[in-house]
Homo-oligomer: A and B are copies of this chain.
Amino acid sequence: MTDQHYTLLVDCTDAKGLIYKITETLYINGLNIVRNDEFVSAEENYFFMRTEVTGNVVATDVVEQLRKVLPDAANIRLVKKERKKLVLMATKEHHCLSDLLVRTHFNELNAEVTAVISNYDSLQNLTEKFSIPFYCISHEGKTREEHEAEVLAKVHSFQPDYVVLAKYMRILTPGFVKGLEHKIINIHHSFLPAFVGANPYKQAYNRGVKIIGATAHFVNHELDEGPIIAQSIIPVNHQMDATDMARAGKDIEKLVLSNALRTVLDDKVFVNGNKTVVFE
C-alpha cells in the first residue's frame, strides 16, 4: 500500500513528556516523521506541535490513541493534505483577487476557489475569465444586517474552509464573524496597529512615514484586531504622495495575503489567543 502523507496538529496545556507521548504513538503506528515543529508559549504555558508523517493508518484510530495519552482538553487533528475550499470576497480593487485567481488557476495554492462574492460587479469580468462563479450582492437599499445576512447565506451555501477578504471594503459585524472564527482572513492595507481604519495610505502620507506595510490577519469581532498571520513592508519617500503609496502598497498587500493564505492552507498556523504561531 502506498504511503500517505499526513499532518498531525496538537495543541494543549503544556506538560512534561508531551513530545515523547505523541511520537511514541506515531512510532507504534509505523509512521515516519518527516518534519516536526513545536512551540511552547511560556506566558500561556501552552503547547503547539505540528508533525508531518508518512505511512498508512486509520486516522481516527491514531487520534483515539493520542487522546488517551494527552490532556483531556487537547485539540488533536490528523489530516491528509487536501485542497481546501475558498470563498473570496472583494469590492472594486482587483489586485488581491486577480492574484488569488491566477494562483489557484495554476494550482499554486492548496485550494480551489468555489465562488467570488462582491458588493459591486466591477470584478465580474475578471472572475469569469477564470471560470469561477461570481455573485454580486449589492448593499444598496439594504440595512447592514440585511446585506450581511444575504452575503452570509451565500457564503454558507458553499461550505468553505476559509473565507478570504481580498479587499472587501465593508466592515463586518460580530454577527457575521460568529461561527466563522479563525476562518476569515483579511488583508489590511497598513502595518497594523498603525493606521487602523479608513484611508491608511492618506494617513501614512500625512504622517510622513518612510515605510508602509500590509497585514494579513484572522478576522474576529473587533475590526482590525484579530490575530496577525503575516506582515510585510516597503520603503517610501517624500517623492510619493498618497496615491503613489497606495499603488506601491498594492504589491505588498497581495504578496502578504497570498503568503499568509499559503501557510494557513498548509496547516502551518495555530491561533494562540490573539496571536498566531506560524510554522513556516
Q: Which residues of A contact B (CB under 8 A)?
A: 16-20, 23-24, 26-27, 30, 32-43, 94, 98-99, 102, 106, 108, 129-130, 191-195, 206-211, 213, 227-233, 237-239, 241, 247, 251, 255, 258-259, 272, 274-278, 280
| B207 lies within 8 A of A193 (CB) | yes
Which DSSP category, helix, strand, loop or mixed, fits chain A's interface? mixed
Q: How far is the CA of A209 from the CA of B241 in the complex (A)?
A: 26
| A193 lies within 8 A of B194 (CB) | yes
Q: Which B residues touch A193, using CB under 8 A?
A: 194-195, 207, 209
Known: A19-B33, A209-B228, A239-B280. 8 other contacts (CB 8 A): A16-B30, A33-B40, A34-B40, A35-B239, A38-B38, A43-B241, A208-B227, A211-B213
Chain B nearest CB: distance from A42 CB in Å? Answer: 7
**A20 touches which one: B26, B210, B247, B251 (CB < 8 A)?**
B26
**A27 touches which one: B20, B34, B229 (CB < 8 A)?**
B20
Q: How far is the CA of A207 from the CA of B272 in the complex (A)?
A: 11
Q: How far is the CA of A206 from the CA of B193 in the complex (A)?
A: 11
| B27 lies within 8 A of A16 (CB) | yes
Q: Which B residues touch A213, using CB under 8 A?
A: 191, 211
| A20 lies within 8 A of B17 (CB) | no
Closest to A260 in B: B210
Q: Which B residues touch A36, using CB under 8 A?
A: 19, 36, 38
Q: Which B residues touch A41, using CB under 8 A?
A: 238
Closest to A269 in B: B238
Q: How far is the CA of A205 from the CA of B41 in the complex (A)?
A: 12
Q: A20-B24, A23-B20, A35-B40 are known contacts. Are A238 and B272 too (CB-CB below 8 A)?
A: yes
Q: Which B residues touch A42, using CB under 8 A?
A: 34, 241
Chain B nearest CB: distance from A167 CB in Å? Answer: 13
Could you give 24 example pairs across A and B, Cβ below 8 Å? A16-B33, A17-B23, A17-B27, A18-B33, A20-B24, A33-B40, A34-B40, A34-B42, A35-B39, A35-B40, A35-B239, A38-B38, A39-B238, A42-B241, A94-B102, A98-B106, A191-B191, A191-B213, A194-B194, A207-B228, A209-B231, A210-B229, A211-B232, A237-B280
